[in-house]
Structures are given as C-alpha cells and as structure tokens.
Structure 1
Amino acid sequence: MAVSVTLPALGESVTEGTVTRWLKAEGERVEADEPLLEVSTDKVDTEIPAPASGVLASIKVAEDETVEVGAELAIIDDGSGAPAAESAPAQSEAPAEEAPAQPEPAAAPAQEAPQQEAPAAPAGGAQGTDVVLPALGESVTEGTVTRWLKEVGEEVAEDEPLLEVSTDKVDTEIPAPTAGTLLEILVGEDETAEVGAKLAVIGQKGAAPAQAEAPAAPAPAQEAPKQEAPKQEAPKQEAPAPAPQAPTTPAPQAVTTPAPDPVPAAPAPAPAAAPVTPAPAAGEADAAYVTPLVRKLAQESGVNLGSVKGTGVGGRIRKQDVIAAAEAAKQQAAPAAAAAPAASKAPAIEASPLRGQTVKMPRMRKVIGDNMMKALHGQAQLTSVVEVDITKIMRMRNKAKDAFAQREGVKLSPMPFFVKAAVQALKAHPVVNARINEDEGTITYFDTENVGIAVDAEKGLMTPVIKGAGDLNIAGIARKTAELAGKVRTNKISPDDMSGATFTISNTGSRGALFDTVIVPPNQVGILGIGATVKRPVVVDHPELGETIAVRHMTYLALSYDHRLVDGADAARYLTTVKQILEAGEFETEIGL
C-alpha cells in the first residue's frame, strides 16, 4: 500500500520546517528508517527517515520549500497499488491521540505529590507547569537528556532553551513551556525517559526561594504537622501498591522530599542516581550510533569522530564532545595565529632579497622558457572557458575524505575528480588527445590518456605524468598524484616520470586565480586549466521551483588548444562533456560512499 511521509513534530514550539535536501529521488528504492530527506527548522537541522520500505513514488515538497508540521512531504509505494489516502489519516490521527496523552503523566504526579509530600511544607514549591518530553518524530518513543541548560532555582523565559535531548533520530533543545522559576529537575543528565514523561517543574517566580527559606526559619512549624500526622506516615509504609502505579515520577519526587534540609541544589544528583541502572542499558545499545546533528557538526568543524571519546551513556559521542574536540584543535593552532594576529586581514609583506640583484638564469627556468616560447611560436593557440557547479562533488568529498584517507593513505582533494572527468571526456573526444607530426604531415590520435600534472616546485613549474590515467579510479589517481608531487618536491623525480604526456592539467586556482590562459605544451594539442573554487550566489533552474538563487561551489575550466587541429566547436564539446561529468558527480562507489 502507499504510505504518506509527513513532517513530524520536531519540538514543542516548532510549527514548520524547510526541506533542505532530498536524499532520494523519485523512483528510487528506500528502506524503512533509511534517511529520506533533510529538514531545517529554527531549532534543529535533522534527517527524516522513511516510515516504510518501498519506492519513492512522488515528492510533494521541493527543496528550499517550507511547510507546516503534519504536511505531506512524499509518498512511498510498496507496489500494492493501495491509495495513500488510507494511511494519511492514520498518521494525522496519531499525533492527535498522542497530544492528550502527554498531559496525563503530568496530571497523575500532580495528584500523588500531595499524598507523599503532604507533611512537608516545601512540597508546595514543586507545584507548577510540567515540562514533558514532546514527540520528536513518528517512530521516536524515548529520549536521553544530554544537558540541562538551567539549574534548579534559576529563572527561565517562555520558549527559552531549557535542556538538550538526544534520540536515535535527532538531537534538539526543549524550550520552556512557560516563564517562571525552575523548581525541580526530575530526569538527570544521561537519563532516558519516554515521550510524554515529566522532565521538570516550572513554577511562579519566587517559588524556588520559598523552598530554601522554608527549612531555615519555619522549622518548628514544620515539626508540628509531622507530630500531628503520624497516621499519614503509617499508611505510606503500609501501602506500597500506589508507588508502582507511576514508577517514573514518584521516584524522583521521593528523593527530592528530604532535599530541602541541606541545600536546594542537592536534589539534582539524587534523582539521577535512582534511574541510573536502566539508563546505561539503553546507552550501551546505541553507543555506536552517532546522531545526524552530531555527525553534521563534526563535518562542519572538521572533527574526526573516530578520534573523539564519548562522554555520554555507554561512551556515546555527544554534541559537547565534538565542540570540545573542535576547541582543542583551535587552541593548538592558536600560538601560530597569535604570532601573526593581522595575518587574516593583511598579511605581512617582506621585501625579497632578490630586489636589486642580477643573477644567472637557472637552467630549469631556461628550459621552461624555451619550451613555452617554442609552443607559442609553433602553434595557433586559443582558449575557451566554461563555468562548472561542483557543489555535489564538494559535499561528497567532505563526507568521504576522513574514511578515504584512512583507507587509501592519501588525502582526498578535489583534483582527482577533475582528472577523472577530464580523461573520461578525452575518450569521447580524441581530437583533444592527439599530436601533430609536422615532419610527416600526419596526426596521431592516442589510445591512452597519459596526463601531465603541473606541480609548483621550488625550482619552478614541473609536469610529472600519470601514465594510463584513463584506466585509474579516483583512489588510483589520488595515490599517483601524491606520489609524483612528493617526488617533485623532494627532488627525486626521474626523466621517465616527466615524459610521455598526451594531455596536461594545471590547477591554476590552487593559489586563488579564477582562471588562466594556460599555454599548450609542445607535442600536445590541449591543456586544461582549473580555476579557484568559490562559493557565490547562482541562479538555479529548479524543475519545480523554477529559477531560484542559491549559494553554490563554482569554478572555471579553461581549455587552451592548438587551433591547427582543434576547432572552437571541438573545444566547446569537450568542455561541455567535462562539465556534465563533474556536475552529475557520480563518484560515490569510487570513494566508498
């Protein structure tokens, strides 16, 4: 049957969300609980899982579109052909049934609290507005308190973040339902509670100080009721049955009753100690799981989760652990930054010792100069430029670079993607991968792609060659590039490593240049220049939204070619093929995604 995917409630005060990215396309197969799309709200960015297995039949809400909680986002069809209308009401009724269920746990403790705390005057301070764990998704049944942002006795404003909660789907902040004073915390940090469970109590301003003053001055007045009501204490001991009726709530209240004798802040650790036993079991089961928010924060902060020691239940990595790891990395880099505080705005410019000098031209510079002059004078060179959106590749690289480095032993830079796209296009456009034999009056179209890689070395620009680049995958290109660049910079490059190129690629954007009119090397007819990758607003033609403006990763590709063999149309066709390969970004399997 068809299943409707709706926007779940992602917090008490969250009423709408914006679809930032669909992780599946229409017609693709999805599994139950597999991440289906990413949604952003004013409280949290999270992934919405698929409620059932099947085929994504249709997408109802496009990227960058905002809808209210409960709105239909997509339809998943398992092939039975049943209409989605049957499942939609069921899902819409589920939150309606859960809504009244949330106040019930809050109402029950409110009735039992006077029975247990009736002899003690401070019990009145715990009466107020209950803070309950809201529904954080269709399949979310419980959550773990990761951090309290307020302490007992502190004043809070309405909708002010009160605590952080982690589930197997999302990490989010729970806002205060009303303004007042935090009178009591019933679920400690790293404790797990079910949806609808009572987490804390917020009362009127000034109620918390009243608790603190009660045991100090009116102590004799409290002793009198205790002596006059021994009969009330006896039934408590003789009637253990009522206590199991609400196992979650009475336990913390029973612990907090004697708390006013020492200090009001003392009750916080006490309730945490009571339910600690079941909490580790849930935490240990999810120890290997990293929530989407924590994973996204680690990617944005450049933190390798494998090197982070989790402080949550069962060693689970929390948001605070990632933030601490990022801060530690910044502190390590701080001494270098402190040495040059103005480097970020205006780097210090020192005068070169070559100023005013006349020196002999190094042999390497003479060889480079002679080759460039020979190429310019012997060819009819022209340059064509295209603009490419590589946003998908940059996102893909950020996801895979840590695992790729551990697996392959080299860093995953954007360069291998450009080389891969360039050599794939050469196979379809051999006119760019050729040589003019002037003495014989013939043209050789190569059946292999030997790509020269321009490397900026201390002695000058050198171009070692990746032999058979057209037969290598992304990992092979990355390893070979790192190997040749290392040889150049350590002066271990051999003549064999420098010969045999049929095409050349130069990353002129590595130093910030947008693009360059690169010179075609001798005995070749084409060279591809890669400009700097910059983020800027671009008009995107969306199939559903039409023309919209979005921030994208953009770069320029400049192809210089020998016009004696390559026409402008040939160059444009080659560049268009490279552009299409890069923008499609179908490299997931090659980089392990």
Structure 2
Amino acid sequence: MAVSVTLPALGESVTEGTVTRWLKAEGERVEADEPLLEVSTDKVDTEIPAPAAGILSAIKVAEDETVEVGAELALIDDGTGAPAAAPAAEAPAAEAPTAEPQPEPAAAPAPEAPAAAPAGGAEGTPGAGTGSTGASGTEVLLPALGESVTEGTVTRWLKEVGEEVSADEPLLEVSTDKVDTEIPAPASGTLLEIVVGEDETAEVGAKLAVIGAKGAAPAAAPAPAAPAPAAEPAPAPAPAPAPAAAAPAPAPAPAPAPAPAPAAAPAPVTPAPAAGEGEGAYVTPLVRKLAAENGVDLATVKGTGVGGRIRKQDVLAAAEAAKAAAPAPAAAPAAAAKAPVIEASPLRGQTVKMPRIRKAIGDNMMKALHGQAQLTSVVEVDITAIMRMRNKAKDAFAQREGVKLSPMPFFVKAAVQALKAHPVINARINEDEGTITYFDTENVGIAVDSEKGLMTPVIKDAGDLNIAGIARKTADLAGKVRANKITPDELSGATFTISNTGSRGALFDTVIVPPNQVGILGIGATVKRPVVINHPDLGETIAVRDMTYLALSYDHRLVDGADAARYLTTVKQFLEAAEFETEIGL
C-alpha cells in the first residue's frame, strides 16, 4: 500500500515550503521517521521524516520546487500493496501473448505490446513520480505544521522509491516560511511512490508519497515497461542494467529506469558516473561545511545521492578513507601551533545555489532596514563585578542548574528589567491602523548562529525569569537550533531582540532591528583594558577592568535618541550594580 508523504505545518503563518534536497532517491528503502528530505522556508530549514517504512516509490515535488502545506511530496510503498504491484508488472506480458514464445527473436512486436499495455492499464500501473499514480498503500500526507501554515515545500527526500522504511522514521524534509522539519513515515513498508518531488510546494493534507508492504515492487516498476521492448527487467530497477546487456531486446531497459520521477530521472541510471556530475551538482551548506572540517575535496567525492548528489555519508566516508590512507601527516599541524594555518575555503571560485533560508533572512533584513528609520546608540559598561561573581559561582551553578553560567543571562536580565521602565523600546508600530502597541510582556529573541544561518528563538515572558531561568531557557533554545529541532512557534512572537555579536570577538555592531520591533540590543566582546575609575579610598585611579560595549539599534519613527540613551543608561546601571548574588547562589 502506498503511504503519502505530505508537507506538514511548519509554524505559525507558514503556508508553503521549498524542497531543497531529497535524502533518498526513488527506489531506495526508507525507515519510519528516517530523514527523507530537506525543506526550506523563509524562517528555517528542516528535515521531513518518513511517515512509514518502505520503498520510496515516487517523488512528487522536485528539488527547488515550492509547495503548500499539506501538499503531497512523495509516496512510500509499505509493502502491503505488493500483490497488486506484482501483477501490474506482469500485465504487459499477459496482454501480449505473442511476445512470450519469442522473447528474443521478436524484437519488433515486443515494443508494441508494452506500448499498448500502458494505454489500457494506466489505471493500475501508473508511473512513479508523475504525481498521479495508482500505487496502493499508506498515503504520506503533509501534516499541519503550525498555526496559519497552509503549505510547505519538499526540500529533501530521505528515502528513495523502492527503499524500506519503518514507521515514524524520518522520511522527508519540508520547509515553510517559519521552520524546516522532518516528516516521519506513518507506517512501515516499502516506499512505492513519491508524489511531490524535491523543491515542489504542496498544501497541508496533500499526498506526498505512498508506502506499501515491505518487499513490494515500487510503483515505478511498471513505468519502464512503457517505452522498453521488454518488461522483464522492470521489477528490479536498480539491477536492471546488468541483465539488459544479455539480450538485444532488453538492451534499452536502462533508459526507462529513471522514468519513476521525471525531475530526478537520471538518478537510478547514473550511480557510476556520479563523480563527474557531482562537481556541478547542488551541495548543501551542511555538506560543504562538513567537507571543510574534514579536509575533503568535494571534487574527488563520488556522490551516492540522487543524480550523483554528494551526501553527508559520502563526505564522512571520504574523510575516513583519507585518514586510513595517510595517518602520518596528522602530526604535521603540531609544528605550526604557534602560527595557526588559515586554510582556504572550498567555496573559493565556486558559484552555488543560494539556500532558501539565506534568501528568507535577506528578504527580512531588507524589509526591516528599508521599512524603518534605523540608527544606533552605544554605551560602555564596566562588568568587572559580574565577571568576578560569575567565576565564583559558575561551578556550583552548573551542578545545581545543569547548564553553564555564561555572561549572557546577566545581559538578558538587565535588558528586560530596563524594558519595563522604558516600554517605548518594547513596542510595535501598527502602520495600517496608525497605532502603537506597548507590550506588557518581554518576549526576547536571542540571535543564535547555526550551520544553516542566523536564527532567533524567543524566550517568552523573559521579564518573569531569574538568572537561572534565563540560562536554562537560553541553553535549551540554542541547543534546539543547532540540532535543527527548533519549532516555528519557538521562533515567533519576539517583542525585543538581543544579539551577542561579541561572541566572535566583535567590539560592537550596528545590528538591524527585526521587522515588527523597534529595538535590538547588541552585546560586544568583553575586553580587559586600563580604565580610569573612582576608587573609594584612592579617588580617581587607573585599573584593569572588564569592559564591553552595548549598542542599541532602534526605529527612530517611535524611539528618539534620548529614549535610547535613557534605556541604555538603565541597563548600564543595572549591570554595574551587579546585585545578582542571591540569584546565582552566592
């Protein structure tokens, strides 16, 4: 029975997503909940898991295609439809008895018999990947992925047609304008058909794929019989090229093998020359980063994915092979310890496809920058007392709370307390209504750097949390972002944002105010340097202090320079007072 893989709801207001990469090719086995494809939205990229185990029989949404939430992305044959699939493959032979007594000599009648078969048997033997097959099994549907999300885009199939998939195994990845996520397989079996190909967009509830009984022939099997002179090699698409060479009649069989999915047609036929295609094939940022970290030249890697695409497994295998072949050079970097070697990035000289999440980030930044009157004010803060306090408490704090005590929670605490006194910074301009909303809660977005780009999960009601609560929530959200487990709802609803630009050494930054907000606080790097201070006994003196810059970017349509200065001064006073002993257990 075919299980439909659909684009799930990926978050509030997310109505569609784009398929960025299929992790499985048609004909491959997929397990339930196994990542099947990657989907991108204007908010985040995510993996969609297979809803059932089976063979990926058809990919309905190709890579780079956009579909609405609920749209059908592919079909998985869970094996329960095997009896129906087998007779279908034999149908052409039954309808053309004249071809049976002379399978080899009658080369001319052979193509005619299968040609007629699809016309009369199209209902029972649809081609995989066409988006309108009759593969029977469990349908994989695009689930609801969040409030107001109506569509999603298949970014990657994690299983190919013909592969086995287990229930709840990630089957595909779907992207919306809020988040990327994996869609699990609803049942175990064989992925018979992928209805929605990578990069195709489907609506919520749409059939994505079909999963049949384990071992069932994928819906793609009958398709090769249409153009091929002989239908015998069709039940086994992958090994078909081998027997095809034995007789002149079946020789063309390798050509129709890719017919299951027009968008990825060459995939089943080109495993050998994949290396040649890999150089020009789309490589995801994750794979490129992995290759750079392991020193793998992507030009030397043979991709095993659809169309010769290089997958994470290919890079890891190449890295392991390189280590086994030349373990000795590993000691070389030791000599250069005093002068770190800066290696050239593999991206040099390349032109690659722009990830959807980068497009989304870019669109949001341009919208924010050109839709507001933005400028930035900066103050200098002495956080020596906080750093000393943190050093004393960090070990006991980590044991008690289960998370590290970084300086970040202190800044968040000071920022949200100051927002309560300066609500003009925690507000929103409603242009259509001509009104201003001053929020009575502090929902703080925390900018997090991830492999896929900048994401901003939100600490809801941050003004009600103490240092420990902020530390736990920050660690939890950052961990979800980096593990690609963040949900759309956790990325929405911010009334103010904080960006720790100093985490990579920047002294300060003129950060851009996000849409629908009027302020964002940038935290610079903490630097020890000599500063003139007022000592209670020595008066004015020079001392080495821990100093940092706080930069507030704001929308001048609502916030004046004096408002920004007053807010920053309040934050500065709160931090320099450093009255956090009780909250951190001192």
- What range is the shorter-chain TM-score in? 0.3 to 0.5
Any conservation in 2 of the 1:190–1:312 contact (CA below 8 Å)?
no
Q: Give CA deviations for 1:469-507 in whole Å, capped at 9, x if unaligned.
A: 000000000000000000000000000000000000000
Taking a change above 3 Å as real, the CA distance of residues 189 and 402 of structure 1, as seen in their structure-2 partners, is: farther
Q: Give CA deviations for 1:203-240 in whole Å, capped at 9, x if unaligned.
A: 999999999999999999999xxxxxxxxxxxxxxxx9
Return the TM-score normalized by structure 2.
Answer: 0.44
Any conservation in 1 of the 2:4–2:74 contact (CA below 8 Å)?
yes
In terms of mean alpha carbon deviation, does 318-327 or 442-451 score higher?
Answer: 318-327
For residues 365 and 134 of structure 1, the distance between their equivalents in structure 2, rounded to whole angstroms, comes to 25
Q: Give CA deviations for 1:430-460 in whole Å, capped at 9, x if unaligned.
A: 0000000000000000000000000000000
For residues 30 and 181 of structure 1, the distance between their equivalents in structure 2, rounded to whole angstroms, comes to 7
Q: Give CA deviations for 1:263-294 in whole Å, capped at 9, x if unaligned.
A: 99999999999999999999999999999999
Cα offset, 1:353, TM superposition? 1.0
Taking a change above 3 Å as real, the CA distance of residues 452 and 167 of structure 1, as seen in their structure-2 partners, is: closer
Any conservation in 2 of the 1:13–1:175 contact (CA below 8 Å)?
no
Q: Give me the CA root mean square deviation.
A: 24.5
The structure richer in helix per residue is 1
Taking a change above 3 Å as real, the CA distance of residues 539 and 273 of structure 1, as seen in their structure-2 partners, is: farther
Any conservation in 2 of the 1:145–1:163 contact (CA below 8 Å)?
yes
Taking a change above 3 Å as real, the CA distance of residues 152 and 585 of structure 1, as seen in their structure-2 partners, is: farther
Any conservation in 1 of the 2:77–2:191 contact (CA below 8 Å)?
no
Cα offset, 1:346, TM superposition? 3.2
Taking a change above 3 Å as real, the CA distance of residues 256 and 27 of structure 1, as seen in their structure-2 partners, is: closer
Cα offset, 1:544, TM superposition? 2.8
In terms of mean alpha carbon deviation, does 546-555 or 3-12 score higher?
Answer: 3-12
Cα offset, 1:348, TM superposition? 1.3
Matches within 5 A, 1:322-337: none
For residues 326 and 54 of structure 2, the distance between their equivalents in structure 1, rounded to whole angstroms, comes to 51
Taking a change above 3 Å as real, the CA distance of residues 310 and 511 of structure 1, as seen in their structure-2 partners, is: closer
Cα offset, 1:508, TM superposition? 0.1
Provide the secondary structure at the position in 1 that maps to 2:47.
Answer: strand
For residues 24 and 241 of structure 1, the distance between their equivalents in structure 2, rounded to whole angstroms, comes to 20
For residues 185 and 358 of structure 1, the distance between their equivalents in structure 2, rounded to whole angstroms, comes to 30
In terms of mean alpha carbon deviation, does 283-292 or 121-130 score higher?
Answer: 121-130
Provide the secondary structure at the position in 2 that maps to 1:220.
Answer: coil
Structure 2 unaligned regions, length at least 5: 124-136
For residues 432 and 263 of structure 2, the distance between their equivalents in structure 1, rounded to whole angstroms, comes to 88
In terms of mean alpha carbon deviation, does 70-79 or 34-43 score higher?
Answer: 70-79
Cα offset, 1:542, TM superposition? 1.8
Any conservation in 1 of the 2:368–2:514 contact (CA below 8 Å)?
yes
Cα offset, 1:334, TM superposition? 22
Taking a change above 3 Å as real, the CA distance of residues 5 and 324 of structure 1, as seen in their structure-2 partners, is: closer
Identify the residue that residue 574 of structure 2 maps to in structure 1. 581
Cα offset, 1:351, TM superposition? 1.0
For residues 55 and 286 of structure 1, the distance between their equivalents in structure 2, rounded to whole angstroms, comes to 28
Any conservation in 1 of the 2:410–2:467 contact (CA below 8 Å)?
yes
Any conservation in 2 of the 1:4–1:84 contact (CA below 8 Å)?
no
Quick one: which of 176, 179, 185 aligns to 2:185?
Answer: 176
Larger radius of gyration: 1
Taking a change above 3 Å as real, the CA distance of residues 556 and 65 of structure 1, as seen in their structure-2 partners, is: farther
For residues 491 and 131 of structure 1, the distance between their equivalents in structure 2, rounded to whole angstroms, comes to 22
In terms of mean alpha carbon deviation, does 571-580 or 314-323 score higher?
Answer: 314-323
Taking a change above 3 Å as real, the CA distance of residues 179 and 315 of structure 1, as seen in their structure-2 partners, is: closer
Q: Give CA deviations for 1:543-566 in whole Å, capped at 9, x if unaligned.
A: 331110000000000000000000
Q: Give CA deviations for 1:373-408 in whole Å, capped at 9, x if unaligned.
A: 000100000000000000000000000000000000
Any conservation in 2 of the 1:303–1:326 contact (CA below 8 Å)?
yes
Taking a change above 3 Å as real, the CA distance of residues 49 and 443 of structure 1, as seen in their structure-2 partners, is: closer
Taking a change above 3 Å as real, the CA distance of residues 589 and 62 of structure 1, as seen in their structure-2 partners, is: farther
In terms of mean alpha carbon deviation, does 44-53 or 432-441 score higher?
Answer: 44-53
Any conservation in 2 of the 1:146–1:318 contact (CA below 8 Å)?
no
Any conservation in 2 of the 1:540–1:549 contact (CA below 8 Å)?
yes
The answer to whether 1:211 aligns with 2:211 is no
Quick one: which of 192, 196, 206 aligns to 1:187?
Answer: 196
Any conservation in 2 of the 1:105–1:197 contact (CA below 8 Å)?
no
Taking a change above 3 Å as real, the CA distance of residues 445 and 255 of structure 1, as seen in their structure-2 partners, is: closer
Taking a change above 3 Å as real, the CA distance of residues 334 and 431 of structure 1, as seen in their structure-2 partners, is: farther
Q: Give CA deviations for 1:177-196 in whole Å, capped at 9, x if unaligned.
A: 99999999999999999999
Structure 1 unaligned regions, length at least 5: 115-119, 224-239
Cα offset, 1:347, TM superposition? 2.1
Count of equivalent residues: 563
Cα offset, 1:364, TM superposition? 0.4
Provide the secondary structure at the position in 1 that maps to 2:231.
Answer: helix
For residues 77 and 287 of structure 1, the distance between their equivalents in structure 2, rounded to whole angstroms, comes to 31
Quick one: which of 416, 419, 423 aligns to 1:423?
Answer: 416
Any conservation in 1 of the 2:2–2:212 contact (CA below 8 Å)?
no
Taking a change above 3 Å as real, the CA distance of residues 495 and 575 of structure 1, as seen in their structure-2 partners, is: same
Cα offset, 1:359, TM superposition? 1.0
In terms of mean alpha carbon deviation, does 40-49 or 481-490 score higher?
Answer: 40-49
For residues 199 and 363 of structure 2, the distance between their equivalents in structure 1, rounded to whole angstroms, comes to 70
Identify the residue that residue 296 of structure 1 maps to in structure 2. 289
Cα offset, 1:55, TM superposition? 79
For residues 553 and 377 of structure 1, the distance between their equivalents in structure 2, rounded to whole angstroms, comes to 36
Taking a change above 3 Å as real, the CA distance of residues 462 and 250 of structure 1, as seen in their structure-2 partners, is: closer
For residues 197 and 366 of structure 1, the distance between their equivalents in structure 2, rounded to whole angstroms, comes to 26
Any conservation in 2 of the 1:171–1:291 contact (CA below 8 Å)?
no
Matches within 5 A, 1:147-158: none
Any conservation in 2 of the 1:5–1:76 contact (CA below 8 Å)?
yes
Any conservation in 2 of the 1:280–1:314 contact (CA below 8 Å)?
no
Cα offset, 1:360, TM superposition? 1.0
For residues 215 and 397 of structure 2, the distance between their equivalents in structure 1, rounded to whole angstroms, comes to 57
Identify the residue that residue 139 of structure 1 maps to in structure 2. 148
Taking a change above 3 Å as real, the CA distance of residues 83 and 313 of structure 1, as seen in their structure-2 partners, is: closer
In terms of mean alpha carbon deviation, does 551-560 or 40-49 score higher?
Answer: 40-49
User: 1 or 2 for the larger relative contact order (CA 8 Å, sep ≥6)?
Assistant: 2
For residues 559 and 396 of structure 1, the distance between their equivalents in structure 2, rounded to whole angstroms, comes to 25
For residues 7 and 369 of structure 1, the distance between their equivalents in structure 2, rounded to whole angstroms, comes to 24
Taking a change above 3 Å as real, the CA distance of residues 221 and 137 of structure 1, as seen in their structure-2 partners, is: same
Taking a change above 3 Å as real, the CA distance of residues 269 and 144 of structure 1, as seen in their structure-2 partners, is: farther
For residues 541 and 4 of structure 1, the distance between their equivalents in structure 2, rounded to whole angstroms, comes to 71
Any conservation in 2 of the 1:312–1:318 contact (CA below 8 Å)?
yes
Q: Give CA deviations for 1:332-352 in whole Å, capped at 9, x if unaligned.
A: x99999957666653211111
Any conservation in 1 of the 2:43–2:360 contact (CA below 8 Å)?
no
Any conservation in 1 of the 2:170–2:183 contact (CA below 8 Å)?
yes
Q: Give CA deviations for 1:516-555 in whole Å, capped at 9, x if unaligned.
A: 0000000000000000001011111123311100000000
Taking a change above 3 Å as real, the CA distance of residues 441 and 402 of structure 1, as seen in their structure-2 partners, is: same
Taking a change above 3 Å as real, the CA distance of residues 376 and 136 of structure 1, as seen in their structure-2 partners, is: closer
Q: Give CA deviations for 1:54-110 in whole Å, capped at 9, x if unaligned.
A: 99999999999999999999999999999999xx999x999999999x999999999
Any conservation in 2 of the 1:505–1:527 contact (CA below 8 Å)?
yes
Taking a change above 3 Å as real, the CA distance of residues 586 and 311 of structure 1, as seen in their structure-2 partners, is: farther
Taking a change above 3 Å as real, the CA distance of residues 121 and 241 of structure 1, as seen in their structure-2 partners, is: closer
Taking a change above 3 Å as real, the CA distance of residues 471 and 213 of structure 1, as seen in their structure-2 partners, is: closer
Cα offset, 1:32, TM superposition? 67
Cα offset, 1:42, TM superposition? 62
